[in-house]
Amino acid sequence: MLSYRHAFHAGNHADVLKHFLLVELLHYLNQKDKPYWYIDTHAGAGLYALTEGYAARNAEFESGVARLWQAPDLPAPLARYVDAVRAFNPAGQLAFYPGSPLVAQHVMRDSDKLRLFELHPTDGKLLADNVATLGRQAQWQQADGFAGIKAVLPPPPRRALTLIDPPYEDKADYRRVVQAMEEALRRFATGSYAIWYPCLQREEARALPQQLKKLPAKGWLQAELYVQGPSSDGFGMHGSGMFIVNPPYTLHATLAEVLPYLLGRLGQDGGARFVLEQHST
């Protein structure tokens, strides 16, 4: 399905959780000199205008990143994320929001590489324009990211973070996420993987984390942020989650500090809460 456009949701609470964690995962990889690859299965357009076009229609960023923009008491990990967003707003006003590829590139070093996939033809063209200045550091393909990662795993440096975040408009995406992870772990068991998913009342969404916990991985971490209680009609996304396979050992402590803060800043009603679980073998 090619109807989904992330621009409608740029900078919302789900982007805050996803991109904050992306910054933390890459920041951890930067601690070793050896280069790594960042692989993005659903890269989107790369950069989104917030003051006009799709993002301005519902202005979801106002209940997301905008609530952190001027916060004076950000925990250090969240400040790193907000600094990444500020890098694309040099005038000091929140006018643009970077997607995952540009957030990642801001944190990465010159020796590290980006491998990006985007199937939507319009977003693919925008992505090409937005990463053109990165030269050989970034390569992108207009392709199905689920299939594309087979060609890039394992990466030559044997270090990588792979972000898997499909729109889930097609119910088959839930199944394909699990299949892609099973294949990825067969090819590159020691890689780090970050899977984003929506928190919905539909059966497939509730089942996905439980299926991911059964993967043959040495360890995992699950973080969910619910900004409100589920709606009475059963529709709508009331939170989102990130499932990290082979997480850094420091990540649980970071999330234990940051999730309560995000709950206080982004929570919208009494149903707001967070989940934090981890497991290692």
Residue pair 242/208 in contact (Cβ under 8 Å)? The answer is no
Dihedral (Cα; 203, 209, 210, 213), 10-degree rounding: 160
Task: Dig out the tokens for 99 from the structure.
Answer: 């997607």
Contact in structure between 81 and 130 (CB atoms under 8 Å): no
Please pick, among 15, 123, 165, 173, the residue that the annotation labels catalytic: 165
Cis preceding linkage at 154, omega within 30: yes
269 a catalytic residue = no
Query: Which backbone phi and psi does 137 adopt, to 5 degrees?
Result: -65, -30
Helices (H), the chain: 13-29, 54-58, 66-69, 76-86, 100-107, 121-131, 145-152, 172-187, 203-212, 251-266
The DSSP element (H or E) to which 199 belongs, if any, is strand 192-199
* Largest distance between two CA atoms of the chain: 51
Q: Distance (Å, rounded) from C-alpha 24 to C-alpha 71?
A: 19
Quote the CA–CA distance of 257 and 239 in Å, as a whole number.
Answer: 19
Backbone dihedral region for residue 246 (phi beyond 0: left; psi -120 to 50: alpha; all else: beta): left
φ/ψ of residue 143, rounded to 5: -160, 165
**Residues taking part in catalysis:** 165
